[in-house]
Amino acid sequence: MSISLPQDLPVIQAGTPDSRTALVLHGGGGPRTVAPIVGHLAATMHSFAPTHPGWDGTARPDSITSVAQLATAYLARLLEHKERDIVLIGSSIGGWIALEMAVQAAHDERCTGLIGAVVDIDGVGVVVEGEPIADFFALDARGLAEAAWHDPERGYIDPAGFTDEQRAIQQANGRTMATIAGASMSDPTLLGRLSAVNVPTLVVWGESDRIATPTYGRAVARTVPGAQFVEIPEAGHLPHLEAPTATWAAIEPFLTGF
Q: In what order do the strands lie in the sheet with 45-50?
A: 11-14, 45-50, 20-25, 86-91, 115-121, 201-206, 228-232
pLDDT in tens, 90-141: 999 999 999 999 999 999 999 999 999 999 999 999 999 999 999 999 999 9
- Mean residue pLDDT of the chain comes to 96
Can you list the domains of the chain with their CATH numbers?
A: 11-256 (3.40.50.1820)
CB 226 within 8 A of CB 215: no
Q: Where are the beta strands (DSSP E) in the chain?
A: 11-14, 20-25, 45-50, 86-91, 115-121, 201-206, 228-232
According to the model, what pLDDT value does residue 2 have? Answer: 63
> Quick one: how far is CA 240 from the chain centroid?
12
pLDDT in tens, 35-84: 999 999 999 999 999 999 999 999 999 999 999 999 999 999 999 999 99
pLDDT surpasses 90 at 18: no
pLDDT in tens, 26-39: 999 999 999 999 99
According to the model, what pLDDT value does residue 16 have? Answer: 87
Q: What is the DSSP string of 16-35?
A: -TTSEEEEEE--TT-GGGTH
According to the model, what pLDDT value does residue 100 have? Answer: 98
CB 60 within 8 A of CB 53: yes
CB 124 within 8 A of CB 153: no
Angstrom CA distances, 177 to 33, 48, 54, 120, 218, stand at 15, 21, 8, 18, 24
pLDDT surpasses 70 at 1: no
pLDDT surpasses 80 at 247: yes
Beta strands 45-50; 86-91: pairing state: unpaired
- Per-residue confidence at 144, pLDDT binned at 50, 70, 90? very high
